[in-house]
A = this chain, B = another copy of it.
Amino acid sequence: MGMNTQQCRDPMSTAALLAKELAQTSVERDRRGGTAKEERDRIRESGLLTLPVPTEYGGPGHTWPTILRVVREIAKVDSSIAHLLGWHYLQLVTPHLMGSPKQKEKCYAGTVIHNWFWGNALNPRDRRVRASPEGGNRMLFNGVKRFCSGAKDSNMLLVSALKEESNGLIIAFIPSDREGVIIHDDWDNIGQRQTDSGSVSFHDVIIEEEEILRSPGPLGSPFASLRSSIAQLLLANIQLGIAEGAFEETKKSITAFSGQWSADVEDKRRDPLIIQRFGHLWIDIRSAVSLTEEAGTAFQEAWEKEGNLDDGQRGRCTISISVAKVLTARVGLEVTNRMFELLGARATSTKYRYDRYWRNLRTLSLHDPLDHKIQDIGDWALNARYPTPGFYS
């Protein structure tokens, strides 16, 4: 596909090319589920893995608005792959947010040199992995975690555990093939079927001292707490991509699936009721695009503040992101539902698997409760209170 395998100078074109390629097989892969090994390798070749790595570590140093648009572009045709790529970025920058300068360097530079694909085994709501001390400052991890998106076929893994006695949180990065790490093939859900969001179990996994991040969590500092902002922003962009993809597909296929129902309207494209529905959907999509872009810009500003980021800017930024998250979910639900009313009965054939837009959106949008985000937003709007930093806000 002619993608720059080393480094990606024009990420949007690369993303568009990759999306075109993914679109060829996304229906079949939605059926199959499982690990998208071939597609992951195509991402590896595309050069997209290093987008956020700063130039000082040999990366292209793209900003978040670009990174998020890349993820969204891919989500238009394949929200699982978009999720894998997005979550890769999330893990990749975590040592920057929560680690030492040395750890940050190691992860950024390593990703450029080895073209690491990062996976997730951090899920803080699953408290079943425990850490115990082990000779020197090493720790030993034991237990199991669910919802570990992208762990399968990854090179590096972000992992977390609770200390046996204090329940203190430990976050670390390790090679995915570290001894004792078993990545299970047990993700079989109605949507986001190729995200490998299954479970990972740890059997006496040794974690070296230098792999452990020093500010392991959202409360470390305003900057560290941006990790959840990235996650939420990725979710918003993937949700928006799904909505846009469904809309495009509907537009393209508007006359493909149903004959003439009304004597008054020879062409569905001239049917005022069809046009009216497109009008409403377009307004919805424009709102979602606009607020998602705004959130991306706000985030970039917060990101650039780094150590100087204060609670106020952090708070406003998360509200902006939450607004995008809730709106893209709402709009996405609307589009992925209504597309069937526009296309007609024959569009329900499994040949097209058009339900995957809805299944993907519905699954993704449950990552954490939307109503809690609305509470955060309402509390800000009414009481000028910022959300308490946490793994989901």
Contact = CB atoms under 8 A, between A and B. Distances in A.
Interface stretch (A39-47, A108-116, A157-165, A370-378): A370-378
B326 A262 contact: no
Which of A279, A345, A350 has the most chain B CB atoms closer than 10 A to its own CB?
A279
Contacts of A351: 188
Contact of A327 (B254, B283, B323, B333): B283
A63 interface: no
B261 A368 contact: yes
A194 to B, nearest CB: 13
B341 A369 contact: yes
Interface string A238-268: 0000000000000100100001011010000
Given A125-B259, A337-B333, A279 B327 contact: no
A159 to B, nearest CB: 20
Contacts of A262: 372
A368 to B, nearest CB: 7
Contact of A190 (B287, B350, B375): B350
Nearest to A188: B350
Interface in A10-60: none
Given A269-B382, A275-B379, A359-B355, A370 B348 contact: no
A137 interface: no
A279 B345 contact: no
B382 A274 contact: yes
Contacts of A323: 282-283, 286
Contacts of A377: 278-279, 282-283
A383 B268 CA distance: 11
Number of chain copies forming the complex: 4
A368 B261 CA distance: 9
Interface residues of A, number: 70
B348 A366 contact: yes
Interface in A340-376: 340-341, 344-345, 347-351, 353-355, 358-359, 362-363, 365-376
Nearest to A281: B381
A256 to B, nearest CB: 14
30 contacts: A147-B345, A188-B350, A188-B351, A189-B348, A254-B382, A269-B383, A273-B276, A273-B371, A274-B378, A274-B382, A275-B378, A276-B375, A277-B378, A278-B378, A279-B374, A283-B326, A283-B327, A283-B377, A286-B323, A287-B290, A287-B291, A287-B327, A290-B290, A337-B337, A347-B366, A348-B362, A348-B366, A355-B359, A355-B362, A358-B362
Given A279-B378, A347-B366, 17 more contacts: A188-B351, A189-B348, A251-B381, A254-B382, A273-B375, A275-B379, A276-B276, A278-B378, A279-B379, A280-B374, A282-B323, A286-B291, A290-B294, A341-B365, A341-B369, A344-B369, A355-B359
Interface of A: 125, 147, 188-191, 251, 254, 259, 261-262, 264, 269, 272-283, 286-287, 290-291, 294, 323, 326-327, 333, 337, 340-341, 344-345, 347-351, 353-355, 358-359, 362-363, 365-383
